[in-house]
Structure 1
């Protein structure tokens, strides 16, 4: 007992220091992921399909280099199980659909509307879990109702609304749905394989599948990799998307959930629409309408209330 007591203070001190760094880490993560939407706009000479496939490719390749051992273990494990390999491929296709739809939405609707709508992913994830038999608390349905009210206010027909904007809103919502499916499938695969499947390796595998799918989609649509007017800055913007939001942002969020409850980090991540809106205002001079601000606030409140988690 005495020896254990002597060993405890350093461990506790290290744990306390690590936990104390969580607010800073989460803050940097939110700033990184909030930059995604405005930076996508800055890379506008490149088509949405090209931005999506380059963004995912950068994240996949860099992560594969950083976590090559975990990636190799994940590939070996998935290769030995055809069922889990097929589920992983499906998850990758859902991730590709998420990025493809959401990035395309940013060329059709405002940053605030697009980011707020795609942030409804937790609600769809909770509803999917309920459909699969998991228990869901009353707050899931209350939060969903509030989020729907916020959405209706935000996309109410007006001077800034058009058929094109509505299409962008629908694409953003479909991005939320496909992201929720991607998460649900990931949960299923990890439940089946347990700790034997490295999280980092699985993430790389899914991103690789998404990158291949997006490249096939872009090339079959005849997307131009070097369209007229594109500059080196546009490619640097895509590189930023793959490194900052894709690796730094989500990497820090994953680091944080190992030190504080998941729902705390999830609620902090809901600050992304506010961050993206402020950056769009400052960098792109895109001033959101009053109803868009009100609707986005209600939508995020609904998501935070309804964010489903086990007790």
Structure 2
């Protein structure tokens, strides 16, 4: 791999790792943080969308319904995940979020009856055992908020998997940029409606909070732009494996910035989860390569 590719991968991982830190530092409600993260990301993509503006007329009625559903699940993903970060540790939340490819495999099996090898099933069970260890390491008879935070993080995983399944199987005639712009904007509007209905304050936040809202839109968006560029040079599996470094980077930053510590069970559970996801992606890549030979 070229040094420039490695540098871009490292930059993208750092950008995403900081997202959890900004959420943790923010004192705004999770639904507000999620809303502005989506709406500001949509605004940032607007100049690119102007180039593809004719595509905005392409979606059929059925595809618009799919876009609405995808936006709703994306809103739920960020709402659940950001709420989990306010209740549990950065390490626990981000590691559980890394289960996304395994949950996607289970969902594909249940919905589309896609074949799953015994090896893959074993990897899934081992990874979920790692999640149990993480939650056990967070367990306290006097404070169950961390356990609830872990549950919210897992709900965030299921929501983002639903978001990806809808996008991959329904909306096919849009570029990634237009699709992202639409679902980001729709997700932001869903969260706006939620905040209005629940009476959550929309605007009265200090400069510190607004800077977090903006940074949460900028850094992950930069990371996704880099990932999209790297997919032209690297395999999706390589990029996905690099994204597994996000929990490691986020935990490292949380240790120095937030003074968060890790229990031995959290460390062991995290290593099991990340190893499971790594072997899943590696095995998936090898199977795909064998099919093309």
Q: C-alpha deviations, 1:59-92, integer Å up to 9, x for none?
A: 111112223222x2332111xx111111111111
8 Å CA contact retained: 1:143, 1:306: yes
Give the superposition deviation at 1:258. 1.8
- Write the distance in 2 (CA, Å) between the matches of 1:185 and 1:201: 15
Give the superposition deviation at 1:122. 0.8
- 2:214 is matched with 239
Give the superposition deviation at 1:37. 0.6
Q: C-alpha deviations, 1:249-287, integer Å up to 9, x for none?
A: 111112112211101110110111111001111111111
- Give matches, 1:165-204, under 5 Å: 165-190=146-171, 193=172, 196-204=173-181
Task: Choose from 51, 57, 61 the match for 2:33.
Answer: 51
**Closer, same or farther: CA 21–138 of 1 in aligned 2, 3 Å:** farther
- 2:277 is matched with 303
Q: CA RMSD in A?
A: 1.8
- Write the distance in 1 (CA, Å) between the matches of 2:203 and 2:36: 12
8 Å CA contact retained: 2:81, 2:153: yes
- Write the distance in 1 (CA, Å) between the matches of 2:142 and 2:165: 33
Give the superposition deviation at 1:300. 1.1
Task: Choose from 16, 19, 26 the match for 1:33.
Answer: 16
- 1:8 is matched with none
Give the superposition deviation at 1:115. 0.8
Give the superposition deviation at 1:302. 1.2
- 2:97 is matched with 118
- Give matches, 1:36-185, under 5 Å: 36-44=19-27, 46-70=28-52, 72-78=53-59, 81-131=60-110, 132-156=112-136, 158-159=139-140, 162-185=143-166
**Closer, same or farther: CA 236–242 of 1 in aligned 2, 3 Å:** same
- Write the distance in 2 (CA, Å) between the matches of 1:25 and 1:179: 24
8 Å CA contact retained: 1:73, 1:198: no
- Bigger Cα Rg: 1
Task: Choose from 15, 20, 23 the match for 2:6.
Answer: 23
- Write the distance in 2 (CA, Å) between the matches of 1:281 and 1:289: 12
- Write the distance in 1 (CA, Å) between the matches of 2:78 and 2:117: 30
Report SS of the residue matched to 1:35: helix
**Closer, same or farther: CA 256–160 of 1 in aligned 2, 3 Å:** farther
Task: Choose from 182, 195, 207 the match for 1:205.
Answer: 182
- Write the distance in 1 (CA, Å) between the matches of 2:168 and 2:6: 26
- 1:281 is matched with 255
- Write the distance in 2 (CA, Å) between the matches of 1:115 and 1:109: 10
8 Å CA contact retained: 1:141, 1:306: no
- Write the distance in 1 (CA, Å) between the matches of 2:165 and 2:119: 20
Unaligned runs of 5+ in 2: 289-293
Unaligned runs of 5+ in 1: 1-15
